[in-house]
Chain A
């Protein structure tokens, strides 16, 4: 007995002998090699709406299927179980929407980045949208990810109350918070990484029912280890001023990139973009 996959469809199936799904690598290594990478393309994509509940693992599987559907000449790693050459830069947490996720792929044939963008976008479910594809000019994508700008929507929270909470947070030099990680419960500071945090005034409540207040926060947070995520900042707001959102907050990552001295975020593909195709924005 057990959970999936063994008890997958209940014990009833066991009477027609369960098909074996094991894949075992043969001992001899494959002959020859995989075609080399001739082009690297960097991609910005979005996780929108309901599909913001896609986990990073879910996205990675979907993206590999999309490469196959779109016939992208992706390069593979060497070895007996070759993997497609894809590297991801800091993925947004499950449940957080994003307009600014980045990855880089290695190709065995050169492609037009505009065509690549359109083909991949069509191959993914709506809500997982490929926004831009740029041929890499060099350097490391990961090195250009220093900070993120996030927006947090707090339905049924009064913006005035939120403003007070934010002021208390800003006044603190350190705001210790706790989060469960794979290593267990960890305690860390949620304050130092926060470069800016503002209550945004909007003319209307963008979501939810009319007449119900919705406070909106925008914040810029530096990429640190351990990472400080938007929910950690919310934990911080709870810690300093007992902010308890009555409804689950909605979070969206608006941008990622390098951080200027003024606290602005610079598009990480800026340096690659020189003359390359710019996709639909």
Chain B
């Protein structure tokens, strides 16, 4: 061990740490910029051939737990000649100091300047991170516009769900990848490696061309967008002979072959999730029409019960976490979820490990699973997500649950000892009227009334939580019009009054909601085209940062920027948000292939309007959404019939490995 010193870890040769360190005592929560997490990797810069900087464009406390970034970080760093480091959005207090002292956007691992990397990968789970991307590019000293970049700049690649329509950020990113990242990053790495080994022939342009030729990396600069006189898109076509007309999403098929994260990052700073998270399956075919994640991640691919068991065991041993999250879009739908939950509960009985299972299902089975998982005494909350207040609107969105089912299920939860449940709904859905939303109050009242009758206790509560609906690309609602913030806010006001119209019942009901304004801006960004890029830039120039945070988001700033920029193109904010699209309109993302057949999506949209429900193809015949044949994929579900065996208790202390080299 070294002699007393304040700097025992030698800074990497190209580290900005000596310049950053004196700034840290002046900012809030400096630990978030320090790195040194368990599971973090610092490699020799010169020994690496391909170097990735990975960003989650939000604050460290939100970005660090992100599964996507953790998986890619680990997959890339497992390659001997590849180095991957992480960077997150810096808070405005540090941004100001960095500008004053000329400190560039840095990675937290070895505090290297982001501009020094070959590839700068940014994972967007929400469009509200776009302004943070611009901050990072600017702080890094990289030219803001992709067109202005040189061979000295990294290739900026967008990924994540928002990358299924990267057009609003097409001016700022060099490329976008649709779909699962594990294999995509390896393919990109191989292309960069080969291009560098050849002496970087043709410079940046040639590299981007090679990426585009894979047909799974979208390079916006190789596509021209033509517009009709009325502002709609006429066509999007390649401007180079050898790039594909359409770019296809990536699908990682065998999740058992990709059991990541194996070495989860364990932060010193407090983050939004402190747990070992394991995806138990990817994809969802329930067909909720509002849910972009469910549409773009098809087909369903389960991770087997035994792989999940192994990952939980090793993940806990490595990390020292005492919470496990079994994640997916609808975890109760895993074909072996019952055995998985009882097996894990058995394995960790008598320990302080707690298990949680986010599920949106509204049925008693969900409660059985929650019972199983709470055997250790700690009991997670229960959330049920009917999503829509009325039977009619639930048919529109294809969330098949009846009011009777919901009340029966919640009452079962109360009689099993839960005293609080959360009910999740959306507001602003297509065809929605005030009365659809007001039925939420009836439902909540009945839940409390029935719960009191069944338990004989007044000590039961429910929380009604409302999210704003945002139509997303590659969903049946991609053509839908959005309700204005005024309509949304009025409906929420009426709902609140209705909930409190009965004082006794109202007291037992919590009410949480988001107001309509941020949803409208999210709607602009999610269905925007390249012209929206100028709005994003204007907002950023006017100080827009951290738009996912209510205390930083300014609706006014977005409206003003939209009003300034969009009329020059003959369109406006309403045109992007409250306007319903027609069947034949060319949508900005039509050249990006999620596997879903556009005709099927349109039919599903029509079915929605006629309140016709669509079954889940996991258990019913294929309904031809198009994904499996066009992507050459298939549904992969169990049961495997295997069980989780009891763990052999290990006594005595051990010297763990895996801390940073």
In B24-46, the 8 Å CB interface with A consists of 24-26, 29-31, 33-38
Q: Residue A20 contacts which of B127, B382, B472, B655 (CB distance < 8 angstroms)?
A: B382
Q: Residue A3 contacts which of B33, B293, B550 (CB distance < 8 angstroms)?
A: B550
Chain B residue total in the interface (Cβ 8 A): 109
CB distance from B134 to the nearest CB of A (A): 16
Q: Residue B268 contacts which of A7, A73, A125 (CB distance < 8 angstroms)?
A: A125
Q: Which of B125, B470, B550, B659 has the most CB of A within 10 A?
A: B659
CB distance from A229 to the nearest CB of B (A): 13
Q: Are A23 and B655 in contact (CB under 8 A)?
A: no
Q: Are B62 and A127 in contact (CB under 8 A)?
A: no
Is B310's beta carbon under 8 Å from chain A? no
Q: Are B6 and A4 in contact (CB under 8 A)?
A: no
CB distance from B592 to the nearest CB of A (A): 18
A15/B653 contact (C-beta < 8 A), A3-B549, A10-B126 known: no
Is B426's beta carbon under 8 Å from chain A? yes
CB distance from B367 to the nearest CB of A (A): 13
Q: Are A68 and B36 in contact (CB under 8 A)?
A: no
A53/B30 contact (C-beta < 8 A), A20-B380, A254-B4 known: yes
Q: Flag B571-589 by CB within 8 Å of A: 1 or 0 each.
A: 0000000000000000000
Q: Are B518 and A126 in contact (CB under 8 A)?
A: no
Q: Residue B319 contacts which of A12, A49, A69 (CB distance < 8 angstroms)?
A: A69
State the main secondary structure of chain B at its contact with A.
Answer: loop
Q: Flag A13-34 by CB within 8 Å of B: 1 or 0 each.
A: 1111111111111110010000
In B1-60, the 8 Å CB interface with A consists of 1-2, 4-9, 17-18, 21-26, 29-31, 33-38, 58
Chain B neighbourhood of A155, CB < 8 A: 22
Chain A neighbourhood of B127, CB < 8 A: 12
A61, B268: Cα distance in complex, Å: 8
The chain B residue with its CB closest to the CB of A280 is B1
A18, B325: Cα distance in complex, Å: 13
Is B105's beta carbon under 8 Å from chain A? no
Q: Are B378 and A23 in contact (CB under 8 A)?
A: yes
A19, B384: Cα distance in complex, Å: 9
Is A50's beta carbon under 8 Å from chain B? yes
Q: Are A122 and B650 in contact (CB under 8 A)?
A: no
Q: Residue B381 contacts which of A23, A49, A118 (CB distance < 8 angstroms)?
A: A23
Q: Residue A55 contacts which of B4, B31, B62, B318 (CB distance < 8 angstroms)?
A: B31
Q: Which of A15, A24, A72 has the most CB of B within 10 A?
A: A15
Q: Residue A127 contacts which of B9, B21, B126, B269 (CB distance < 8 angstroms)?
A: B9
Q: Which of B175-183, B252-260, B351-359, B441-449 contacts A (4 or more CB under 8 A)?
A: B351-359
The chain A residue with its CB closest to the CB of B468 is A11
A16, B297: Cα distance in complex, Å: 13
Q: Are A71 and B650 in contact (CB under 8 A)?
A: yes
Is A48's beta carbon under 8 Å from chain B? yes
The chain A residue with its CB closest to the CB of B321 is A65
Chain A residue total in the interface (Cβ 8 A): 85
Q: Are A82 and B465 in contact (CB under 8 A)?
A: no
Is B199's beta carbon under 8 Å from chain A? no
Count how many pairs of residues, one from A and one from B, have CB atoms less than 8 Å apart in the complex.
Answer: 255
Q: Residue B377 contacts which of A26, A54, A71, A95 (CB distance < 8 angstroms)?
A: A26
Chain A neighbourhood of B648, CB < 8 A: none
Chain A neighbourhood of B356, CB < 8 A: 19, 21
Q: Are B381 and A95 in contact (CB under 8 A)?
A: no
In B292-347, the 8 Å CB interface with A consists of 292-294, 316-322, 325, 327, 329
Q: Residue B9 contacts which of A49, A61, A254, A281 (CB distance < 8 angstroms)?
A: A49
Chain B neighbourhood of A177, CB < 8 A: none
Interface residues of B (CB under 8 A from A): 1-2, 4-9, 17-18, 21-26, 29-31, 33-38, 58, 61-62, 66, 125-129, 161-162, 266, 268-270, 272-274, 290-294, 316-322, 325, 327, 329, 352, 354, 356, 358-360, 374, 377-383, 385, 387, 417-420, 422, 424, 426, 465, 467-470, 472, 512, 514-515, 518-519, 522, 547-551, 553, 650-657, 659-660
Since A9-B272, A22-B380 are in contact, a sample of 16 more A-B pairs with Cβ atoms closer than 8 Å, ordered by chain A residue number, is A3-B549, A9-B548, A10-B58, A11-B518, A12-B126, A12-B127, A13-B125, A15-B467, A20-B380, A49-B6, A53-B31, A62-B268, A69-B320, A97-B6, A122-B657, A207-B7
Interface residues of A (CB under 8 A from B): 1-27, 30, 48-55, 57-59, 61-62, 64-73, 76, 80-82, 94-95, 97, 99, 111, 115-116, 118-119, 122-129, 131, 153, 155, 206-208, 247-248, 250, 252, 254, 280-281
Q: List 19 A-B contacts (CB under 8 A).
A: A10-B126, A11-B470, A11-B548, A12-B128, A13-B126, A19-B327, A24-B419, A30-B377, A48-B2, A67-B320, A68-B322, A69-B317, A116-B653, A122-B655, A128-B268, A153-B6, A155-B22, A247-B22, A248-B22
